[in-house]
Chain A
Amino acid sequence: MTAVLRTESRKLARGTFVLTGAFALLAAFMLAAFPAMAEEAELIEQAFPEYVGGLFGMEAMHTLEGFYGSYLFPFLWTVFFGVYVAYVGGGTVAGDVRERRMDLLLSNPVSRESVLLQKVASLWVPLVVVNGALFALLYGGSFVLEESIDPVVLAMAHLLSIPYLLVCGTIGVLLSVVADRTESAQAGALGAVFVLWLVDGLSEMDPEFEWVGSLTPSHYYDPAAILIHEEFGLVDAGVLLVAFAVLLTVAVGLFVRRDI
């Protein structure tokens, strides 16, 4: 039974297309600024207050790995993409229930578990398309800038973003199952992901609060470590996948019990 997955995937196509375009444009602008920034890298790293370094990393900015890992990826992936996927997740259930689409859908011989899992599975569209397109652009960019970057390492930065993004998306799905309105679920989800990212960055400032950061998903996705130090953090990815599974189980549990 993949009918729901097919239709939901198609529904995400348009948004994904727009997002890919926006990301490509942003990334292109950033790449255009890279030669100038590389020259001033030391200055930039010093000029920003410490907490900005905490949020983005700001490390080894004179290399393309450092530029990608501590500026482009944290900005585009950890924040923007995370927020977008959370937003999409927030739109999975609440709107369908409110607009009575769920009534018709569930009159088919398909279980609620299956409906929700297929909706979550449809997140493959933005995850795969945006990562694929941006990998091509960022790798291609290295040639244009006459720099070099290891494609395997770059691919790992993309690949390991997926568990993180799945957690962001499921935060949205969970809120969407609970909320009465799509808007509340979406706003709540993107707000939550953004705040969690802020908390993660700020917690690094004070050793006393470092443990708080370990409760945030972005803590377990570190593009700087992947790109600059080639530390792939597979355990961290595992932690994210477990969190994803737990959130999804809770969402399914709530969805099968609620009145529609």
Chain B
Amino acid sequence: MAVIRIDNLTKRYGDIAANDGVSFEVEAGEIFGYLGPNGAGKTTTIRQLLGLIKPTSGTAEVLGADIRDRRALTEAKASLGYLPDELGFEERLTGDRMLDYYARMRGDERREELLELFYPPLDRKIENYSTGNRRMLGIVQAFMHDPDLIVMDEPTAGLDPLKQDRLHAFIESERDAGKTIFFSSHVLSEVQRVCDRVGIIREGKLVALEDVESLLTRSGKRVWVHLDEPVDVDEFATADMLDIEAIERGVRFTYTGDYNALLEYLGQYTIADIEIGNPQLDDIFKHYYGEEVDGEPRRTEASEVNGEPRRTEAPEVDGEPRRTEASDHDGGEGSSRAEGE
């Protein structure tokens, strides 16, 4: 059953289409990542789902309520939790009073349990909160009434890595308990780590809708290699390396092939330093979703689908990418993912 059903949703501001014919569904019990660079239209979609802004055309259903039916949507909100990107609290209230306030409207049966995981200073006025504390208070209010659907807009912004991990683990346990989570992010690694499915929005248009596994294989890794000896880039390059460029005493490239093959290949060089990380979202867009400037996208797709000549180096092992997560350069990611699975 679809918990969110978006049908050709369009929101125009003059000539600019913040959302342009967006359609997709979010199924019950999944973590759906809504991925896109800043300004792509993620928040516009979310705010339409909540009935805060009206679509120019098209519509959506949230928990069975048509967003154009204000009464039905208001009732549905009893089972909805929302964590906005910008948290507008009553600044003069203490955290406790703020939660009391919302509890009067929708209950707070899970408040204490949540406060053990996320603990803003409840007796202080919100105007004195740090960004992280505001975010924690936002998380508590979003989940405290045990909603069936939680909509989160950039939920980890302002949280330290430890709390980010905690939130990711928490979201996964909620999903396992049957809750549906819809969250937007511009951080690819975050979406990769926790989401089951991903919708990618760019300039108001939904450019991709796929499960996270295929996104993982498509997006590859960003690799920096510093070598002891200078090397000729053309000689160094293999077909799985995209965007290869020479840097001082080394090369930098996006790698889309098999990781074992890469490690084996690099073994023939004397490596002074190496860094393997996730590519920027913009790079992925460049390679896979439009921007047909250099025709690059197709090439990688071909090499992925079927064994090209260079595949001889090592057998393709599917599903392997996860292993490399442990070596991810922004530490801690690997462990949180392992927990989740």
Contacts and interface: CB of A to CB of B under 8 A. Distances in A.
A1 interface: yes
Contacts of B74: 109-111
B82 A107 contact: yes
A257 B77 CA distance: 19
Contact of A101 (B81, B82, B90): B90
Contacts of B51: 106
A104 B84 CA distance: 7
Interface stretch (B100-108, B251-259, B276-284): B100-108
B71 A111 contact: yes
A106 B104 CA distance: 14
Interface string A245-260: 0000000000011011
Given A101-B89, A102-B88, A109 B70 contact: no
B53 A260 contact: yes
Contacts of B53: 259-260
B299 interface: no
Contacts of A1: 105
Contacts of B80: 107
Contact of A7 (B70, B71, B101): B101
B88 A100 contact: yes
B50 A6 contact: no
B47 interface: yes
A103 B84 contact: yes
Given A3-B101, A7-B90, A101-B90, A108 B77 contact: yes
B68 to A, nearest CB: 12
A109 B90 contact: no
B71 A104 contact: no
Given A103-B47, A103-B50, A256-B70, A108 B86 contact: no
A3 B50 contact: no
Contacts of B92: 11
Contacts, number: 73
Interface in A105-163: 106-112
A208 interface: no
Name the interface size band of chain B.
20 to 34
A3 B84 CA distance: 21
Contact of A109 (B77, B84, B93): B77
A1 B89 CA distance: 19
A111 B70 contact: yes
Contacts of A102: 52, 88
B256 to A, nearest CB: 39
Contacts of B89: 101, 104
A230 interface: no
B122 interface: no
Interface in A65-115: 96, 99-104, 106-112
Contact of B102 (A108, A111, A112, A256): A108
B50 A106 contact: yes
Interface in B140-182: 141
B75 interface: yes
Interface in A156-215: none
A107 B50 contact: yes
Given A111-B70, A112-B70, A256-B70, A104 B88 contact: yes
A259 B106 contact: no
B105 A106 contact: no
B84 A100 contact: yes
Contacts of B82: 103-104, 107
A182 to B, nearest CB: 13
A109 to B, nearest CB: 4
Contacts of B88: 96, 99-104
A106 B90 contact: no
Contacts of A106: 50-52
Contact of A259 (B54, B77, B87, B101): B54
B246 interface: no
A6 B87 contact: no
Contacts of B70: 111-112, 256
A259 B101 CA distance: 24
B78 interface: yes
Given A11-B92, A99-B88, A103-B88, A108 B52 contact: no
Contacts of A107: 50, 77, 80-82, 84
A64 B177 CA distance: 73
A103 B86 CA distance: 9
A100 B43 CA distance: 13
Interface of A: 1-3, 6-7, 11, 96, 99-104, 106-112, 256-257, 259-260
Interface of B: 47, 50-54, 70-71, 74-78, 80-82, 84, 86-90, 92-93, 101-102, 104-106, 141
Given A107-B77, A110-B74, 8 more contacts: A1-B105, A3-B102, A104-B88, A104-B141, A109-B74, A109-B75, A110-B77, A260-B47
17 contacts: A3-B101, A3-B105, A7-B93, A11-B92, A96-B88, A100-B84, A100-B88, A103-B47, A103-B84, A103-B88, A104-B87, A104-B89, A109-B74, A109-B78, A110-B77, A111-B71, A259-B52
- Which 9 residue pairs of A and B lie closest in terms of their CB atoms, listed nearest first? A100-B88, A101-B88, A3-B104, A107-B82, A108-B105, A109-B78, A259-B53, A109-B77, A260-B52
